[in-house]
């Protein structure tokens, strides 16, 4: 099998014969085509589509950088744990090489949620979020934890520690005084979330919009990061804050809220394990807005084009959430 491409594609293809042998396939009967690629100072990762006999299709994924076999293995283990109890919710793994950070999985004729949301009217966004909520409901029920009294003190304690670092000059954040005002406002809400029940589950660990893919009728999760068993609000906040920053029409978000009510209602029509008033959802949505803020470079000159775009949209959201 031959394919023109850069070193990253060539490295992935060099692993294919061994992976094919593990699957009982003849490597030379398959042809490769580029599917997705990321290559920067931190990450070098490629996905190739493999077209084989009888119209079969697979995906070969290879992560050349960072080289952290244990972390890669954790992600594969998380994927396998879901596959064991809910195989319809993700692409099924066919072969794995943990040491060389590669795997082969089922090909999905689907597009990322982020692509489908881009530029869509709020009504269409809501319909997509309803489907995303249904997927997350199935995922959390498949690896269900337990009912638990939510304890906001852990999130607030970490946030206050970060605020202390900022005041001491040990951390930099864009618009630091505004950040501190917003963080103080969230800390002042701690009592609003005390003593209320929530639900835990095995979480995805990195559930942003690119890690949900959809076709016309189905939704799948990808790139599981081996999340902990924690309140379900962690996954929900990660996904919905990502949506709120990049795609939600900010004028449709009520003051003091993170999401347009139409979008929030639609998501929880699909997701039934907890409702929108769940304390882990309400606290962690707002905390996630702050986490996105402190996670971006403080200096404008150090932000990439994508980071600059995200920061501008984040600040528009901050104005709705915190005033």
Residue at which a domain ends, from 107, 133, 152? 107
Q: What is the pLDDT of residue 41?
A: 79
Is 27 within the bounds of a domain? yes
Is 246 within the bounds of a domain? yes
Residue at which a domain ends, from 81, 107, 133? 107
Q: What is the pLDDT of residue 323?
A: 86
pLDDT tens per residue across span 216-271: 999 999 999 888 999 999 999 999 999 999 999 999 999 999 999 999 999 999 99
CA distance 292 to 264: 20
Q: Do residues 248 and 168 both lie within one domain?
A: yes
Q: Do residues 282 and 312 both lie within one domain?
A: yes
Q: Do residues 184 and 95 both lie within one domain?
A: no
- pTM greater than the 0.85 cutoff: yes
Q: What is the pLDDT of residue 4?
A: 40
Is 28 within the bounds of a domain? yes
Q: Do residues 76 and 148 both lie within one domain?
A: no
CA distance 108 to 111: 9
Q: What is the pLDDT of residue 38?
A: 87
Q: Do residues 12 and 156 both lie within one domain?
A: no
Q: How many helices (H) and strands (E) does the chain have?
A: 10, 11
Is 252 within the bounds of a domain? yes
How does 141-157 read in b/e, with b if 16+ C-beta sit within 10 Å?
Answer: ebbbbeeeebbbeebbe
Q: Do residues 24 and 154 both lie within one domain?
A: no
Domain count, the chain: 2
Is 2 within the bounds of a domain? no
Residue at which a domain ends, from 107, 127, 146? 107
Is 1 within the bounds of a domain? no
Q: Do residues 134 and 86 both lie within one domain?
A: no
Inter-residue contact 173 to 294 (CB < 8 Å): yes
Q: Do residues 294 and 313 both lie within one domain?
A: yes
* Dihedral angle over CA of 19, 21, 24, 30, nearest 10: 70
Inter-residue contact 321 to 258 (CB < 8 Å): yes
Q: Do residues 121 and 49 both lie within one domain?
A: no
Q: Do residues 71 and 176 both lie within one domain?
A: no
Q: Do residues 212 and 270 both lie within one domain?
A: yes
Enclosing domain of residue 289: 112-321
CATH of the domain at 76: 3.30.200.20
Is 304 within the bounds of a domain? yes
Q: What is the pLDDT of residue 3?
A: 38
CA distance 54 to 85: 29
Report residue 198 as tokens: 């929530």
Report residue 258 as tokens: 């993170």
Weakly modelled stretches of the chain, pLDDT under 50: 1-5
CATH of the domain at 274: 3.90.1200
CA distance 244 to 45: 27
CA distance 176 to 174: 5
With a CB cutoff of 8 Å and minimum separation 6, the contacts of 66 are 42, 43
Q: Do residues 87 and 200 both lie within one domain?
A: no
Q: What is the pLDDT of residue 69?
A: 82
Is 278 within the bounds of a domain? yes
Give the residue from 74, 97, 19 showing the smallest Cα distance to 223: 74
């Amino acid at each position: 099998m031959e394919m023109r491409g850069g070193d990253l594609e060539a490295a992935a293809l060099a692993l294919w014969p061994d992976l094919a042998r593990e699957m009982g396939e003849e490597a030379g009967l398959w042809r490769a085509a580029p599917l997705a690629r990321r290559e920067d100072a931190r990450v070098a990762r490629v996905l190739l589509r493999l077209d084989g006999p009888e119209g079969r299709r697979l995906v070969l994924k290879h992560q050349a950088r960072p080289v952290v076999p244990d972390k890669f293995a954790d992600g594969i283990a998380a994927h396998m744990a879901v596959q064991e109890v809910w195989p319809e919710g993700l692409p099924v793994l066919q072969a794995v090489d943990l040491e060389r950070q590669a795997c082969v999985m089922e090909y999905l004729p689907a597009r990322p949620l982020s692509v489908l949301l881009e530029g869509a009217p709020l009504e269409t966004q809501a319909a997509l979020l309803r489907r995303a909520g249904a997927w997350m409901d199935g995922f959390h029920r498949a690896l269900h934890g337990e009912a638990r009294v939510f304890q906001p003190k852990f999130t607030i304690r970490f946030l206050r520690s970060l605020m202390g670092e900022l005041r001491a000059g040990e951390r930099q954040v864009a618009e630091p005084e505004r950040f501190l005002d917003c963080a103080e406002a969230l800390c002042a809400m701690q009592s609003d979330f005390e003593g209320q029940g929530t639900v835990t589950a095995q979480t995805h660990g990195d559930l942003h919009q690119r890690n949900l893919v959809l076709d016309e009728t189905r939704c799948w999760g990808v790139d599981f990061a081996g999340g902990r068993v924690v309140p379900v609000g962690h996954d929900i906040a990660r996904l919905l804050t990502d949506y709120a920053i990049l795609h939600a029409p900010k004028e449709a978000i009520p003051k003091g809220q993170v999401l347009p009510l139409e979008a929030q209602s639609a998501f929880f029509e699909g997701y039934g394990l907890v409702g929108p008033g769940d304390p882990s959802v309400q606290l962690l949505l707002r905390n996630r807005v702050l986490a996105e803020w402190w996670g971006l470079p403080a200096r404008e000159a150090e932000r990439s084009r994508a980071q600059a775009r995200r920061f501008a949209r984040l600040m528009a959201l901050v104005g709705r959430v915190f005033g």
